[in-house]
Structure 1
Amino acid sequence: MHQHLLYEIQKQVKLSENDINLCYKLFEPVYISKNTILEKANHIPKYIYYLISGFMRLFYYDENGYEVTTHINCPHGFFCSYMEFLDQKCSPVNVHCITNCDVLKMNRSDYSFMMENSSAWKDYATFILQKSLDYNENRAKNFAILTAEQRYLDLINANPKIINHVPLQYIASFLGIKPESLSRIRKNLLDKC
């Protein structure tokens, strides 16, 4: 499983043999069953995860007890409540495996060790943080200027497999709409074909 992560990293930074060895030493491969809550809200996140296969999401419960999905992750990528993981503070969100997932996980002390002992890993972490900020900025902008249908089309164009693996209520929540609105959007799109 480590090869997937190393392949992605080496697209951005050059890794030494020591950097590669750190990856094998500090990232633990884990299989996680569908519907597992990996990290619970109101707890300090223990791990950062690299998703090899499967689908995960971040969600919280609103004041009415409804689940609000804030992020859906498809393979391959890092996933956690990142700022709370770094600062070791309680996270407001749950980390949930939507499907069976293969992940690499790393705890906070090993993450610190890696950042202190590898400039390549530190550079890659900076790259990932920049990508995450860009993603969140675009997501906020899209919520402000795009219709629900446009947001749905953007999502399935970026991640076509999401429709086959992620329940529609999670997708609707992620898009900021009710499931019945998403059903209407999907029906309208089918009628246009």
Structure 2
Amino acid sequence: MTIEPLINYISNLFDISNNDIRLLTHFFKNTNFSKGSILEKENIVAQKLYFIRNGFIRTFSNEDGIEITTQIVGENNFITGFNSFVSGFISKENIQCISDCEVLHITKSDYETLTKESAIWSTFCKQVYEKAITFNQQRTTDLLTLSAEKQYLKLLAEQPEIIQNVPIQHIASYIGIKPESLSRIRKKIIS
């Protein structure tokens, strides 16, 4: 198993040198996780950044014993408790595999070393963070302004792979409703 998907992802945006490839290969490790595995736990500082080669991963918070899914990502996406990973603050999120997953990961200390040694990596990460901030800002707006049905339709149009591969309870939580309500919305859309 190689880190080729990550290299391809970066090289689609930037010219990547052999030295950058060597550094990425040295610092990123490939790991398989089974469905349900917790990659990072709440109430600790996030220690790793993950690049998903295969599978689906979610972040969720526990609010009075109820899991609230805050993010769902699949192949060729990065995931971590970004606020915690970047700032060193305690994470309020758990990161869990929704399916069997193959990921590439880098530790915080290796990430910092890679950032110092590779200008491309530093520039690339800035772009990843900007994309995450933009996505999260739009998601907040959608949660506040769109009905659950419109949120579901938007998810269906923009990320159909999530609808096809993620259990209904996680999708419902992600758009802020109960699974029964999502079932009604899906039946309405189909008919």
Match of 1:172 in 2: 172
Aligned to 1:155: 155
Give the match for residue 72 of structure 1: 72
Cα contact 1:13–1:123 (8 A) shared by 2: no
One-letter code of the match for 2:102? D
Instruction: Please tell me whether the aligned partners of residues 61 and 68 of structure 2 are also in contact (alpha carbons under 8 angstroms).
Output: yes
1:58 and 2:35 equivalent?
no
Partner-residue secondary structure (3-state), 1:41:
coil
User: What is the TM-score of this pair, normalised by structure 1?
Assistant: 0.96
Please say if 1:20 is aligned against 2:21. yes
CA distance in 2 between counterparts of 1:180 and 1:156 reads 18
**Letter aligned with residue 163 of structure 2:** I
After superposition, what is the alpha-carbon deviation per residue over 1:55-75, rounded to whole angstroms, capped at 9, x for unaligned? 000001112x11000000111
Counterpart in 1 of 2:117? 117
Tell me the residue number matched to 1:137. 137
Which residue pairs with 1:90 in the alignment?
90
For 1:62 and 1:145, the matched residues in 2 are separated by 22
Deviation at 1:163, TM superposition (A): 2.4
- Bigger shift: residues 32-41 or 153-162: 153-162
Distance 2:99 2:161 in 1: 12
Match of 1:99 in 2: 99
Q: Which runs of 4+ in 1 moved over 6 A?
A: none
**Gap runs ≥5 in structure 2:** none
**Equivalences, count:** 190
Structure 1 range deviating more: 5-14 or 95-104: 5-14
State the SS of the aligned residue for 1:21.
helix
| CA distance, structure 2, for counterparts of residue 3 and residue 27 of structure 1 | 11
Aligned residue number for residue 7 of structure 2: 6
Identity %: 36
CA contact 1:169–1:179 (8 Å) conserved in 2:
yes
Shift of 1:88: 2.3
User: Which stretches in structure 1 are left out of the alignment for 5+ residues?
Assistant: none
Work out whether residues 40 and 93 of structure 1, in 8 Å CA contact, stay in contact via their aligned partners in 2. Answer: yes
CA contact (8 A) 1:74 1:159 kept: no
Task: Please state if 1:37 is matched with 2:38.
Answer: yes
